[in-house]
Amino acid sequence: MKKLFKKHSLIFCMVALLTAAFTLPGFADNIKFGHVAPPFHGQAKGIDAFAAYVKDKTGGKIDIATFPAGQLGGERSMAEQVQAGTLQMAALTTAVLQNFVPQCAILDMPFIFPDRKTAYATLDDPEVQEKIFSYFPKKGFTAIGWTENEIRDFTNNKRPVRTPEDIRGLKVRVMNSPVYLDTFKQLGASPVGIPFPETYNALQTGVIDAQENPILTTVLMKFTEVTKYVTRTQHCLTECIIVVGTDYWESLSAAEQQIFRDAGKLAIETNRSVNASLHQALPKSNISIGQYATDNQIDIIDLTPEERGVFRVAMTPVWNKYRKKIGDEIFDFMLEKIKVHQQ
């Protein structure tokens, strides 16, 4: 009887030790989440909030390490890593993801959103998310939420821009994305897909005349030092989609998957909030973009609704080209949703 008791006690102790061992932090599920935003940016802050939320809600079982500023590679490389299962998660622009999932190019259509408020209301619509995200699993991704760079504007060193004709003939640095290249070709510009880090020098030396980036990025990267004219065209919202590798996603329990989806909602809320605050208080200087423009003699042009309408009409050939590529279904679905949410 004593031997049997000792044997059972030993088994119990071993089970207890093993159970305890696998709940220690050292046995956490450590995963990587890559993106290209700088650490101070709203996108990076949103992704950090995502990681903290998941760790908290899983009691430390899932510990997500975030890698900003392209530490794990460029966006295309990270997309391929997620597909291959060597990287669990990434937040990637639709400009890059459209090379894998063509339907998400709908979000890059120039001037498709009339304003920021409508864009956010549309993207937050559960039916919109479900529709767009449904195209991803067949390509090796599970899409679970948004982050964003910002809404894009236009700067140049030649002339004020208020009409499509004002852009004609300019050499413009754009992201190396089919939609962006086609957009500026349609406007009569000469788009150049040079790497982002080379933009300042290219403007300074006259290799290019113009560039298009969110005004926040333009100010932080000091492009306004080498471009005289700023127009808030707000032509495209640089939306990023949080993608998870399919194999890793399927290894999660239903409860854990819901935690990830909830974390995705927190990420975009944090992202937008931080970016809005940066418009009011730039890093280091702690002044608003408006005050920065005044202090540095930068004239910022805001297009009227009528002027934006002229640009939107000018984009008809680009829309028609991509309608053929991505299909009438998703195109008409998004246009109807945007109409519903426009106020």
Place of tokens 């039916």: 127
* pLDDT tens-place string over residues 235-258: 999 999 999 999 999 999 999 999
Quick check: 272 and 148 in contact, CB under 8 A?
yes
- Token duo for residue 277: 């605050």
Place of tokens 């080498």: 226
pLDDT of residue 13: 45
d(CA 321, CA 325): 7
Please give the full DSSP string across 164-202, using - where no structure is assigned.
HHHHTT-EEE--S-HHHHHHHHHTT-EEE---GGGHHHH
CA contacts within 13 A on the Cβ side of 21: 6
Which SS3 state, helix, strand or coil, does residue 71 take? coil
Q: What angle do CA 151, 288, 214 make, to 5 degrees?
A: 15
Summarize the confidence of residues 78-85 as an average pLDDT: 97
Instruction: List, edge to edge, every strand of the sheet that includes 62-67.
Output: 62-67, 29-34, 89-93, 237-245, 141-151
CB atoms inside a 10 Å sphere around CB 12: 10
* pLDDT tens-place string over residues 313-330: 999 999 999 999 999 999
Sign of CA dihedral 281, 286, 288, 292: negative
Summarize the confidence of residues 221-245 as an average pLDDT: 95
Please give the C-alpha separations between residue 324 and each of 43, 102, 284, in angstroms, as whole numbers.
32, 11, 47
d(CA 27, CA 127): 38
Tell me which DSSP letter residue 225 carries.
G
Q: What angle do CA 34, 35, 41 make, to 5 degrees?
A: 130
pLDDT of residue 17: 41
Would you state the CATH architecture of domain 27-148+239-275?
3-Layer(aba) Sandwich (3.40)
Q: Is 12's pLDDT higher than 80? A: no
Q: At what angle do helices 328-341 and 116-123 cross, to 10 degrees?
A: 120
Where in the chain are the domains?
27-148+239-275, 153-236+281-341
Residue whose C-alpha is closest to residue 33's, from 20, 51, 58, 18: 51
Domains 27-148+239-275 and 153-236+281-341 share a fold: yes
- Those residues whose C-beta lies under 8 Å from the C-beta of residue 149, and which sit 6 or more positions away, are 37, 41, 43, 93, 214, 217, 238, 240
pTM, full prediction: 0.87
* pLDDT tens-place string over residues 271-313: 999 999 999 999 888 999 999 999 999 989 999 999 999 999 9
d(CA 329, CA 306): 28
Q: Cα–chain-centroid distance for residue 183?
A: 19
pLDDT of residue 2: 47
Tell me which DSSP letter residue 304 carries.
P
d(CA 217, CA 197): 12
Residue whose C-alpha is closest to residue 209's, from 191, 193, 195, 197: 191
- Token duo for residue 42: 């709203």
Residue whose C-alpha is closest to residue 144's, from 260, 49, 318: 260
d(CA 128, CA 233): 25
pLDDT of residue 74: 87
Q: Is 195's pLDDT higher than 90? A: no
Give the lowest-confidence range in 25-34, 55-64, 253-262: 25-34
Would you state the CATH architecture of domain 153-236+281-341?
3-Layer(aba) Sandwich (3.40)
